[in-house]
Amino acid sequence: MAPSGLMFAFAAWSSMVTITQAGNESHARNASAAISPLLLVSFDGFRADYLEKYPLPNLREFYSDGVLVDHLTNVFITKTFPNHYSLVTGLYAESHGILASTMYDPVMNRTFSVHNHSIDAVWWNEATPIWVSVQNSGYKTAAAMWPGSDVAIQNKTPTYFMKYDSKVSFRDRVLSLTDWLVRDEAVRLTVLYWEEPDNTGHTYGPDNVTEMTKALKEVDDNIGFLMQQLKSKGLWDKINVIVTSDHGMTQCSPDRLIQLDKCLNASTYTLVDETPVAAVLPRTNVSLVFNSLSKCHSHMKAYMKTDIPDRLHYKNNVRIQPIILVADEGWTIVQNEKHLRLGDHGYDNSLPSMHPFLAAHGPAFRKGYRLPHFNSVDIYPLMCHLLGISEKPNNGSFSSTRCLLASESCLDLASIIGIVIGSLMVLTTLTCLFIFIRNRVPNSSRPFARLELQEDDDDDPLID
Ligand SMILES: *[C@@H]1O[C@H](CO)[C@@H](O)[C@H](O)[C@H]1NC(C)=O
Ligand SMILES: *[C@@H]1O[C@H](CO)[C@@H](O)[C@H](O)[C@H]1NC(C)=O
Ligand SMILES: *[C@@H]1O[C@H](CO)[C@@H](O)[C@H](O)[C@H]1NC(C)=O
Ligand SMILES: *[C@@H]1O[C@H](CO)[C@@H](O)[C@H](O)[C@H]1NC(C)=O
Ligand SMILES: *[C@@H]1O[C@H](CO)[C@@H](O)[C@H](O)[C@H]1NC(C)=O
Ligand SMILES: *[C@@H]1O[C@H](CO)[C@@H](O)[C@H](O)[C@H]1NC(C)=O
Ligand SMILES: *[C@@H]1O[C@H](CO)[C@@H](O)[C@H](O)[C@H]1NC(C)=O
Ligand SMILES: *[C@@H]1O[C@H](CO)[C@@H](O)[C@H](O)[C@H]1NC(C)=O
Ligand SMILES: [Zn+2]
């Protein structure tokens, strides 16, 4: 009985799986005809748990009719430029070459800063951002201030773009993008960047609820404006929209200051990048500099380049300096200054406070679906899939994101538990039914059954 019940349950389970899988074959479609335009939006410094702590009604409306991923593991270092380039390339910083806000390349003997990021495309050319690939496959793209989108990377800027200018309002950025989308049907990919809530997080610290409430209300109003514009221009049901961020934010304090001058004479090294991951280029004796820095402070780790942990994927690039210093969460590295920002990011990418979230809406996405987590480098293969272009080599995986898509069949944990419980109930019912029927069947037609029953009677405790 038990084995056949299990087999039945298994058959029921596998037929359900087969049915759901067969469902997606009917979705076989003319790839080029079915491609919707894609809009990728980043709100700088939008920490994942702001979603739990602040009302954000427009964002909630956006993902309740779409998908939400609670948190993303982003890339080290958890700064703006490295992470925005990872989002559009699927590569860790060591592989795309934008490793920090300030970098020194010893081979070129040149220094990069976010303030002059567009002067020389050579810094960006180690990778191919998705807009270049989309253009190479014959479509157009449009960008509003996404880091790097005003640089002629591999000799191509997006088809339509704006020179970076923080003074251009969110509304003007959205109006330009939606105009380009409406006027030119060949535009397949658009990218949009906004500086908040990062600015407020740095200035007041993420623990300042009053200031963060104001900043996040504005961000949410901006999301509302974006949705309303897409609706009024007839794009809302046709466009796939991904809203995400580059990193989170953590509270800093003047009580958590690490002053390098207390440990080492500043003339012995060049500080290429400061906090919370300092890039140190020793001028003279490397091991002398390293020894002083490694003993400097209990809330700061010093690594020789070769010993940087593999999990950080931050080693294989000439633009990483011989020594890096990594501050613990909430600590600030300076040479001697006493002022600091009350909020900062850049710390270890395994810290939850450094993680952003992802929400998406559009014809390709499920409605009301939620996933706990994937890596931010996984967004790139997802976007390639949505746009029907082939992926460049990257560090992400489409398989971790595919369950967000309406066209993919996915058994989530809840359905698996449901199926198992369902099968057990069927099994139990059948067992009971079988026992019941066996006990009720008239004995006359089955001599052996009578014999069994008589044996059973012998075991009847009533005899005692
Ligand atoms: C069906 O789903 C499988 C696995 O999820 C996927 O590889 C395949 O491309 C899908 N087929 C269609 C026709 O969408
Ligand atoms: C797919 O759509 C394109 C563009 O609309 C069309 O040129 C092509 O013939 C279609 N292919 C198939 C197999 O239907
Ligand atoms: C690097 O460039 C600077 C000027 O920017 C120059 O003074 C220095 O000598 C150069 N170093 C090397 C090794 O070429
Ligand atoms: C970019 O800025 C950095 C840091 O301020 C500076 O050292 C470098 O010379 C600048 N590069 C160019 C090309 O202006
Ligand atoms: C938040 O920032 C405001 C403006 O600077 C300040 O007045 C207030 O004391 C801060 N609140 C906290 C809790 O730090
Ligand atoms: C740092 O080293 C330089 C050069 O060796 C020296 O002139 C200076 O006095 C030193 N500063 C301190 C604070 O020791
Ligand atoms: C560098 O410093 C270390 C430790 O202080 C010392 O043992 C070594 O001899 C120095 N090397 C050079 C080349 O000065
Ligand atoms: C990331 O992807 C690049 C390109 O495929 C590859 O060269 C690199 O080794 C990958 N990094 C890791 C840690 O797998
Ligand atoms: Zn940022």
pLDDT of residue 415: 73
What are the C-alpha distances in Å from 104 to residues 31, 100, 347, 437? 44, 10, 20, 82
342-367 CB burial, b ≥16 within 10 A, e <16:
bbbbbbbbebebbbbbbbbbbebbbe
274/280 Cα distance (integer angstroms) = 9
Tens-place pLDDT, residues 98-118:
999 999 999 999 999 999 998
The predicted model gives 84-101 an average pLDDT of 98
Whether the model pTM is above 0.75: yes
Local structure of 437: helix, strand or coil: helix
DSSP at 178: H
The predicted model gives 220-248 an average pLDDT of 98
Looking from the CA of residue 31, the nearest atom of ligand 2 is 1
Q: Which residues are CB-neighbours of 419 under 8 A, at least 6 positions away?
A: 13, 16, 411
Looking from the CA of residue 112, the nearest atom of ligand 4 is 1
The residue whose CA has the least distance to atom 3 of ligand 8 is 394
Residue with tokens 């070129």: 108
Tens-place pLDDT, residues 374-431:
999 999 999 999 999 999 999 999 999 999 999 998 876 777 788 888 889 889 888 8
Distance of CA 121 to the CA centre of its chain: 26
Residue 285 Cα to ligand 7 middle (Å) = 6
pLDDT band for position 9 (cuts 50, 70, 90): very low
Residue 20 Cα to ligand 1 middle (Å) = 11
Out of 73, 78, 80, 250, the active site residue is 80
Contact 325, 300 (CB under 8 A): yes
Q: Verify whether residue 210 is a known catalytic residue.
A: no
The residue whose CA has the least distance to atom 13 of ligand 6 is 265
Q: Which residues are CB-neighbours of 160 under 8 A, at least 6 positions away?
A: 140, 141, 142, 143, 176, 180, 184, 187
Please give the structure tokens belonging to residue 243. Answer: 């809203």
What is the full DSSP assignment across 87-151? HHH---HHHHS--SSEEEETTTTEEEEGGGTTS-GGGTTTS--HHHHHHHTT-EEEEES-TTTTS
pLDDT of residue 227: 98
- Judged against a pLDDT cut of 90, whether residue 2 lies above it is answered with no
DSSP at 156: B
Closest ligand to 291 CA?
7
Please give the structure tokens belonging to residue 173. Answer: 């950025």
- Judged against a pLDDT cut of 70, whether residue 174 lies above it is answered with yes
Residue with tokens 């810290």: 351
pLDDT band for position 444 (cuts 50, 70, 90): low
What is the full DSSP assignment across 28-67? ---HHHHPPPEEEEEETT--TTHHHHS--HHHHHHHHTSE
What phi-psi label fits residue 45: left (phi over 0), alpha (psi between -120 and 50 degrees) or beta? left
Tens-place pLDDT, residues 316-367:
999 999 999 999 999 999 999 887 899 999 999 999 999 999 999 999 999 9
Q: Is 24 in the pocket of ligand 1 (CB under 6 A)?
A: yes
The residue whose CA has the least distance to atom 8 of ligand 4 is 111
The residue whose CA has the least distance to atom 14 of ligand 7 is 285
Neighbouring residues of the ion ligand 9, judged by CB less than 5 Å = 44-45, 80, 198, 246
246/88 Cα distance (integer angstroms) = 11
The residue whose CA has the least distance to atom 11 of ligand 2 is 30
249/257 Cα distance (integer angstroms) = 17
Residue 95 Cα to ligand 8 middle (Å) = 7
What are the C-alpha distances in Å from 1 to residues 12, 15, 100, 427? 16, 21, 66, 10
> E-assigned strands of 305-400?
323-327, 332-334, 343-344, 358-361, 369-375
Residue to probe by mutation, ligand 4, list 101, 105, 112, most atoms within 8 Å of CB: 112
Backbone phi, then psi, for 105, in 5-degree steps?
A: -110, 110
Residue 284 Cα to ligand 7 middle (Å) = 10
Please give the structure tokens belonging to residue 44. Answer: 């700088």
Q: Is 285 in the pocket of ligand 7 (CB under 6 A)?
A: yes
Measured CA angle at 176 (ends 54, 167), to 5 deg: 65
Q: Which domains does the chain have, with CATH numbers?
A: 38-91+127-250+348-404 (3.40.720.10), 257-344 (3.30.1360.180)
Residues with CB under 6 A from ligand 4: 111, 113, 116, 119
Residues with CB under 6 A from ligand 8: 91-92, 95, 313, 393-395
* Percent of the chain topping pLDDT 90: 79
pLDDT band for position 267 (cuts 50, 70, 90): very high
- Judged against a pLDDT cut of 80, whether residue 176 lies above it is answered with yes
What are the C-alpha distances in Å from 355 to residues 96, 146, 308, 374, 462? 20, 19, 21, 11, 69
